[in-house]
Amino acid sequence: MDTLVTVALLAAPNPVPAQGNLWLGVRYDVAPGWQIAWESSGSAAQAATTLELSSDGLRLGAVQWPAPARLVGPEAGGANGYLGSVTLLVPAAVMQDAPPSIQVVGHSSWVACKEEICIPGEATLQLALLVAAEPSAADPFLADRARLPTPVPPTAILTSLPDGGGLSLSLPGAQGVTFFPDAALAALLGPVGISQDGSGSTVHMDLPLPAPPGAQAVVTAQTAAGSRAWSVPIGPPLAPIEDGPPVAVGERAPDFTLTDTQGVRAALHDAAGHPVVLVWLDPACPFVRYATDSGPLPELSRRWRARGVRWLAIDSTVPRRGADPTADAHARAALHLDLPLLLDPTAAVGRRFDITTAPAAVVIAADGTVAYRGALDDAPLGRVDGDHRRDYVDAALRALAAGGAVRPTSTTSYGCAVQYGDPVR
């Protein structure tokens, strides 16, 4: 029975570019007539499929699950899952100090079911990646990425029902809707009703409020444009950083975890023991475009990264202009960045570091304390006011490298105002 499900760990591209992005994929080939479950199976008799990957040379994002189907399950009510072949995808990025050969290891478990028979299975996964200047151009995951849910359209409306009666999700133009709650949502969710008329569909959720932070659902539907699968945030966003007052120079920098434009997570603690530069950018700001194009930022970051300094670029303007992963990826390319652009969807990280304009920088010493906060330099758009240019970030890093005192420890940053608006709760 161990041939019911065969599993393979793949990567594209492989070889991978130094400090570049890639996709890891775990392909499950399921025997005809059998099924495996989604991340939330929806069936008490069939456990959810699990996947865990790790690597010392890669930053890994969350597992990306293709939209499931409602299958005939081992008990009344069916299960959420897959027939045939399916690939779970994980976005990844090569770390700055990755070795020439990167090992990826992992483990997956599942339960394969057919009618009333369910058989558990598991696999240990391993893959070697080579880092090369000329990465492979092959993309075996193109069709798999097309199966991933996309963000729900802005015409969808999520409404709290009166007297704590749950939530209502209105989907104009959607017919034949199927609703798949993730595990966090399913654990609290009561009956789900779906109504449909000529204008669209509405999903009614019996759910105690507030919904769990980060809880999501996948909705599949037929529209005038064809079959669609959407990812719908139901709960508030997960907090990327602990609440607190703005951190001051000399205090320990609070840890945070954000996701970049490729869906890969990055955390401040990943750089523990190294100096770190956090630089705030706004893709729409002319001061930022100058700094990342003909300005000092590209050469400055490359020079200090070669000496072991970690750099993270952060965009805290997402709440003002709306999250759009495709536009953000294009913005990263337009800014000529060869470092990850992290999205701060609630602006919580920008607030904790007291960032008011973009560009702006925070330099963190190897012991984790904030050594400098302020402008990159004293030359907005390259215009020097005085005899010579003062590169504040470069000076701070030189002082730290020499074991001396950082002077100045703060300056007034220039550029485009970061308009936070009301805090997101």
Give the range among 38-42, 45-49, 302-306 with minimum mean pLDDT: 45-49
Q: Which CATH number fits domain 257-417: 3.40.30.10, 3.90.700.10, 1.10.1040.10, 3.40.50.300?
A: 3.40.30.10
What's the pLDDT band for 325 if we cut at 50, 70, 90? low
Query: 5-133 in CATH: which number?
Result: 2.60.40.1250
Position 32 scores a pLDDT of: 94
Position 233 scores a pLDDT of: 92
Which residues, other chains included, contact 172 with Cβ-Cβ below 8 Å and sequence gap of 6+? 155, 156, 199, 200
Mean pLDDT within 207-232: 93
What's the pLDDT band for 320 if we cut at 50, 70, 90? low
Which residues, other chains included, contact 363 with Cβ-Cβ below 8 Å and sequence gap of 6+? 275, 276, 277, 278, 370, 371, 372, 373, 393, 396, 397, 400, 406
Position 424 scores a pLDDT of: 41
Distance, CA of 72 to CA of 193 (rounded, Å): 19
Is a pLDDT exceeding 50 seen at residue 423? no
Q: Which CATH number fits domain 150-233: 1.10.3210, 3.90.930, 2.60.40, 3.30.70?
A: 2.60.40
Mean pLDDT within 75-83: 73
Q: pLDDT above 70 covers what percent of the chain? A: 91
Distance, CA of 227 to CA of 235 (rounded, Å): 25
Is a pLDDT exceeding 60 seen at residue 124? yes
Mean pLDDT within 305-330: 73
Position 286 scores a pLDDT of: 92
Is a pLDDT exceeding 50 seen at residue 350? yes
Tally of CB atoms within 10 A around 60 = 19
pLDDT tens figures, 143-198: 999 999 998 998 999 999 887 779 999 999 999 999 999 988 988 999 999 999 99
Distance, CA of 237 to CA of 218 (rounded, Å): 16
Mean predicted lDDT score pLDDT of the chain: 88
Which residues, other chains included, contact 334 with Cβ-Cβ below 8 Å and sequence gap of 6+? 283, 289
Inter-residue contact 127 to 66 (CB < 8 Å): no
What's the pLDDT band for 74 if we cut at 50, 70, 90? low
Q: Which residues of 216-239 are buried (b: 16+ CB within 10 A; e: fewer)?
A: bbbbbbebeeeebbbbbebbeeeb
Inter-residue contact 277 to 362 (CB < 8 Å): yes
Same fold, 150-233 and 257-417: no
Is a pLDDT exceeding 70 seen at residue 421? no
What's the pLDDT band for 261 if we cut at 50, 70, 90? confident
Query: Kind of pairing, strands 310-315 and 276-280?
Result: parallel
In the block, which residue shows the tokens 């965009």? Answer: 315
What's the pLDDT band for 2 if we cut at 50, 70, 90? low
Q: pLDDT above 90 covers what percent of the chain? A: 61
Q: Which residues of 183-210 are buried (b: 16+ CB within 10 A; e: fewer)?
A: ebbbebbeebebeeeeebbbbbbebeee
Is a pLDDT exceeding 60 seen at residue 323? no
pLDDT tens figures, 382-418: 888 777 889 999 999 999 999 999 999 999 999 999 8
Position 331 scores a pLDDT of: 62
Tally of CB atoms within 10 A around 338 = 14
Q: Which residues of 119-140 are buried (b: 16+ CB within 10 A; e: fewer)?
A: eebebebebebebeeebbeeeb
323 or 135, which is more confident? 135
What's the pLDDT band for 45 if we cut at 50, 70, 90? low
Mean pLDDT within 195-223: 93
Inter-residue contact 359 to 295 (CB < 8 Å): no
Domain boundaries in the chain? 5-133, 150-233, 257-417
For residue 236, give the DSSP letter: P
pTM of the model: 0.80
Position 76 scores a pLDDT of: 39
